């Protein structure tokens, strides 16, 4: 084999990190005597040949036969990992467009398939399972794979391998729906819906569902019985799924598209296994993250879990109530009962149930959270995130807490009680990011943060750019109550430098003259136009910036959506022009009517609401959006819920302004 490996010009082939000349060495390490090093080499091959997917590189078809030969060799320690790599390559080749698949892959796969079929009879059941998974992942003619899979099915005595074989049979019969073996396999799979083993029944639903999407709804009781049965742990030993309770919940829930809460409500029924209860809440979070309507039915089940004996369950229930926020405020008393619950999760952050309760009460605007938040800020150990974190939008839910400043930011109605705590954080010795974050909270609170002005004046004298600029932004947000900052801000502006325009703009916001800001903002225009922050400052200057009208009008056609939106708003704020600004803003929101949500859409809708009746075309376009059931979000975790609330609030303002 190694002589054949060396005959290939690997340097002429490519993988995700460039030249494939390192592949022979990795293959040799996979066959080496050190199991740990062999596994590391297999992981490196996975990363090199597949990485995050999206294409099949030219090195993959060249490596394929050697991966399978190593996997067929009993004393190769990484053979299971190598078969997983083959399975993922086969899946990716079947998933992506043909133009992203190296031309050599189809023929290499055709030659390799007989070797995969041989592995269905390997002595080791782990290898048999992996071979079934490979067959169930790729695009292969059923006339070749079905006879081998059926033969193995009849001879197999390993329970986990049975599950992989059922899934592989379902995949293979889709590849050959009218062949000789198709009718018999479909009859076999239908018969397995009545099998005595719960997980075989579950596997049969998964195998049949791609060809019969209505089946999962019809078999809801079967699905719930199987995923809640103790035998669900068997899936951890499979190759195709290889996951525990939560993973099987998620995998099976994906068969049931749409907002119906029936499956989740069934999962949320009481269960003696804590992993089942955790998995049920994870699925509830995934459902609520995508759809609004299930909240009514799911909410009482979440409240019922607040007194669960397991800390993780109580934490997740409280965290989901925080995500629902105002919609769950009728249950604030039950949440407040957990303020003293200091039992922690087993995660790295060791978040406590009490911290989730504080976050939930903050989202409900309930003052009972204030003492706990003030106490949390005074201690270095906290389960709240250290910095702002963003998670992608998905069909699952990230059960995490925000940063403490993000929690506090939701409580402007309680600014008076929280300001001393925030001011304690406004010292130069504080981490710059923390200080900047709390200054942003003060800016967002506006005049309600007036009590922080003396502390901000001190920060304004600091020579460190990140410190004084953070203070300047906060003072600008607070407005005229910070007019004691006029002189130092004007001095900062006159001194020039990278942040002169920020200082000049803040000077204007706290009550100064517009001239310094106009001069400072005029400097960076040159040939390229205004950067986005400058556009926002120009909008705040209003008619004082009228001499920039032509430049702003040009920028309303900018190809970059954020620039276009900010320029359109600034043009309207400066000139009152709606003929150019409204159409430019509408270019950013058209997808919203179909349920597409991008972050740039929120400021666009808010700006249209400010414009008022002249934005009627936008209001008519978006009139049906508030009735959409799906969450309007681009983020996962709690942030997606807040995005949805913010967008719907902005839409209400727009419709009210135009009616």
Same domain, 19 and 109: yes
Other C-beta atoms closer than 10 Å to the C-beta of 495 total 10
| CA–CA distance, 653 with 521 (Å, rounded to integer) | 31
- Model confidence over 398-450: pLDDT tens digits? 999 999 999 999 999 999 999 999 999 888 777 888 899 999 999 999 999 99
Same domain, 164 and 263: no
Which residues, at least 6 apart from 454, have a Cβ–Cβ distance to it below 8 Å?
A: none
| pLDDT exceeds 60 at position 526 | no
Give 12's DSSP letter: G
Mean pLDDT of the residues in the chain? 93
Q: What pLDDT score was predicted for residue 527?
A: 45
385 pairs with which residues across the strands?
403
Q: Which residue, of 222, 257, 292, is where some domain finishes?
A: 257
Q: What pLDDT score was predicted for residue 248?
A: 97
Same domain, 163 and 206: yes
Q: Quote the percentage of the chain above a pLDDT of 70.
A: 98
Q: Quote the percentage of the chain above a pLDDT of 90.
A: 83
| pLDDT exceeds 50 at position 57 | yes
Mean pLDDT within 352-376: 97
Same domain, 105 and 169: no
Give 481's DSSP letter: G
| CA–CA distance, 209 with 165 (Å, rounded to integer) | 16
Query: Is the residue at 151 inside a domain?
Result: yes
Query: Is the residue at 490 inside a domain?
Result: no
Query: Is the residue at 602 inside a domain?
Result: no
- Model confidence over 288-300: pLDDT tens digits? 999 999 999 999 9
With beta carbons less than 8 A apart as the criterion, state whether 530 and 521 touch.
yes
Q: How many CA atoms within 13 Å lie on the side-chain side of 481? A: 17
- Percent helix, percent strand, percent coil in the chain, to nearest 5: 70, 0, 30
Mean pLDDT within 504-508: 92
- Name the burial class of residue 451, with classes exposed (0-12), middle (13-18) and buried (19+) by CB atoms within 10 angstroms of its CB: middle
Query: Is the residue at 191 inside a domain?
Result: yes
Segment among 41-45, 580-584, 591-595 with least mean pLDDT: 591-595
Q: What pLDDT score was predicted for residue 553?
A: 93
Other C-beta atoms closer than 10 Å to the C-beta of 529 total 17
Query: Is the residue at 633 inside a domain?
Result: no
* Residue that is written with structure tokens 């048999």 in the block: 128
Q: What pLDDT score was predicted for residue 644?
A: 96
| pLDDT exceeds 60 at position 113 | yes
Domain count for the chain? 3
198-208 vs 220-227: helix axis angle to the nearest 10?
130
291 pairs with which residues across the strands?
630
Same domain, 271 and 404: yes
**Coil/strand/helix, residue 635:** strand
Same domain, 251 and 267: no
Q: How many CA atoms within 13 Å lie on the side-chain side of 368? A: 18
| pLDDT exceeds 70 at position 121 | yes
With beta carbons less than 8 A apart as the criterion, state whether 633 and 643 touch.
yes
- Model confidence over 329-341: pLDDT tens digits? 999 999 999 999 9
- Model confidence over 183-226: pLDDT tens digits? 899 999 999 999 999 999 999 999 999 999 999 999 999 999 99
Same domain, 342 and 376: yes
With beta carbons less than 8 A apart as the criterion, state whether 288 and 327 touch.
no
Query: Is the residue at 211 inside a domain?
Result: yes
Structural domain range at position 65: 1-119
Which residues, at least 6 apart from 233, have a Cβ–Cβ distance to it below 8 Å?
A: 244, 245
CA distance to 1, 42, 87, per residue, from 45 (Å): 18, 5, 13
| pLDDT exceeds 80 at position 604 | yes
**pLDDT level of residue 585 (50, 70, 90 thresholds):** very high
In the 3-class helix/strand/coil scheme, how is 22-76 assigned residue by residue? CHHHHHHHHCCCCHHHHHHHHHHHHHHHCCCCCCECCHHHHHHHHHHHHHCCCCC
Same domain, 165 and 302: no
Q: Which residue, of 210, 237, 257, is where some domain finishes?
A: 257
CA distance to 82, 149, 208, 238, per residue, from 163 (Å): 21, 12, 13, 7
Same domain, 227 and 333: no
With beta carbons less than 8 A apart as the criterion, state whether 577 and 539 touch.
no
Q: Which residue, of 65, 87, 119, is where some domain finishes?
A: 119
With beta carbons less than 8 A apart as the criterion, state whether 120 and 152 touch.
yes
Same domain, 249 and 266: no
Query: Is the residue at 450 inside a domain?
Result: no
- Alpha helices by DSSP H, listed for 341-431, are 353-363, 370-377, 404-409, 415-425
Dihedral of CA atoms 267, 271, 273, 275 in degrees, nearest 10, equals 20
Strands (E), 334-454: none
Q: What is the CATH number of the domain that holds 343?
A: 1.25.10
Query: Is the residue at 403 inside a domain?
Result: yes
| pLDDT exceeds 50 at position 159 | yes
Q: Name the nearest CA neighbour of 568 among 560, 550, 580.
A: 580
| CA–CA distance, 445 with 476 (Å, rounded to integer) | 11
Q: How many CA atoms within 13 Å lie on the side-chain side of 370? A: 16
With beta carbons less than 8 A apart as the criterion, state whether 474 and 443 touch.
yes
Same domain, 247 and 264: no
| pLDDT exceeds 70 at position 528 | no
377 versus 3: the higher-pLDDT residue is 377
Pairing state between β 18-19 and 14-15: antiparallel
- Model confidence over 6-25: pLDDT tens digits? 889 999 999 999 999 999 99
Same domain, 294 and 399: yes
Q: What pLDDT score was predicted for residue 310?
A: 98
Q: What pLDDT score was predicted for residue 525?
A: 55
């Amino acid at each position: 084999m190694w002589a054949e490996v060396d005959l290939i010009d690997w340097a002429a082939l490519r993988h995700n990190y460039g030249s494939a000349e390192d592949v022979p060495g990795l293959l040799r390490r996979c066959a080496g005597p050190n199991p740990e090093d062999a596994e590391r080499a297999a992981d490196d091959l996975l990363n090199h040949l597949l990485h995050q997917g999206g294409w099949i590189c030219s090195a993959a078809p060249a490596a394929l036969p050697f991966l399978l030969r190593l996997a067929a060799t009993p004393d190769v320690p990484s053979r299971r990992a190598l078969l997983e790599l083959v399975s993922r390559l086969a899946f990716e080749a079947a998933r992506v467009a043909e133009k992203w698949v190296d031309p050599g892959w189809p023929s290499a796969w055709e030659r390799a398939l007989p070797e995969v079929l041989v592995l269905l009879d390997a002595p080791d059941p782990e290898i048999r399972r992996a071979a079934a998974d490979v067959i169930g992942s790729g695009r292969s003619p059923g006339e070749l794979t079905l006879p081998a899979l059926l033969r193995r099915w009849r001879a197999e005595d390993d329970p986990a391998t049975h599950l992989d074989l059922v899934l592989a049979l379902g995949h293979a019969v889709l590849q050959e729906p009218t062949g000789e073996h198709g009718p018999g396999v479909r009859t076999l799979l239908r018969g397995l819906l009545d099998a005595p083993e719960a997980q075989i029944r579950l596997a049969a639903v998964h195998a049949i569902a791609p060809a019969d999407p209505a089946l999962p709804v019809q078999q809801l009781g079967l699905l719930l019985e199987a995923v809640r049965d103790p035998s669900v742990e068997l899936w951890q030993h499979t190759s195709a799924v290889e996951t525990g309770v939560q993973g099987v919940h998620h995998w099976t829930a994906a068969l049931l598209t749409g907002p119906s809460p029936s499956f989740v409500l069934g999962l949320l029924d009481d269960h003696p296994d804590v992993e089942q209860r955790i998995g049920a809440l994870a699925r509830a979070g995934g459902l609520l993250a995508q759809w609004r309507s299930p909240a009514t039915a799911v909410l009482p089940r979440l409240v019922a879990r607040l007194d669960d004996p397991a800390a993780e369950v109580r934490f997740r229930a409280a965290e989901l109530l925080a995500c629902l926020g105002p919609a769950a405020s009728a249950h604030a008393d039950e949440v407040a009962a957990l303020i003293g619950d200091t039992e922690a999760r087993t995660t790295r952050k060791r978040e406590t149930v009490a911290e989730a309760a504080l976050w939930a009460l903050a989202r409900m605007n309930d003052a009972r959270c204030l003492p706990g938040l003030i106490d949390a800020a005074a201690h270095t150990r906290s389960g709240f995130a250290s910095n702002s974190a963003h998670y992608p939008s998905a069909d699952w839910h990230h059960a995490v807490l925000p940063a403490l400043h993000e929690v506090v930011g939701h409580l402007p109605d309680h600014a008076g009680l929280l300001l001393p705590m925030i001011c304690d954080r406004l010292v130069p010795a504080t981490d710059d990011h923390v200080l900047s974050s709390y200054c942003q909270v003060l800016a967002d609170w506006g005049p309600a943060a007036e009590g922080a002005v003396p502390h901000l004046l001190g920060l304004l004298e600091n020579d460190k750019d990140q410190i004084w600029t953070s203070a300047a932004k906060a003072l600008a947000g607070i407005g005229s109550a910070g007019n004691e900052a006029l002189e130092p801000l004007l001095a900062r502006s006159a001194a020039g430098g990278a942040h002169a325009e920020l200082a000049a703009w803040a000077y204007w916001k706290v009550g100064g003259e517009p001239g310094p800001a106009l001069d400072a903002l005029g400097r960076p225009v040159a040939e390229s136009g205004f950067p986005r922050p400058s556009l926002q400052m120009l909008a705040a200057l209003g008619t004082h910036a009228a001499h920039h009208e032509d430049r702003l009008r040009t920028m309303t056609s900018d190809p970059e959506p954020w620039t276009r939106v900010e320029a359109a708003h600034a043009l309207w704020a400066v000139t009152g022009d709606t003929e150019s600004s409204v159409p430019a803003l509408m270019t950013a929101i058209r997808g919203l009517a179909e349920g597409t949500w991008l972050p740039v859409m929120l400021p666009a809708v808010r700006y249209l609401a400010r414009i008022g009746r002249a934005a009627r075309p936008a209001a008519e376009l978006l009139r049906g959006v508030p009735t959409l059931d799906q969450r309007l979000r681009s983020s996962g975790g709690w942030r997606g819920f807040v995005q949805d609330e913010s967008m719907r609030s902005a839409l209400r303002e727009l419709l009210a302004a135009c009616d």
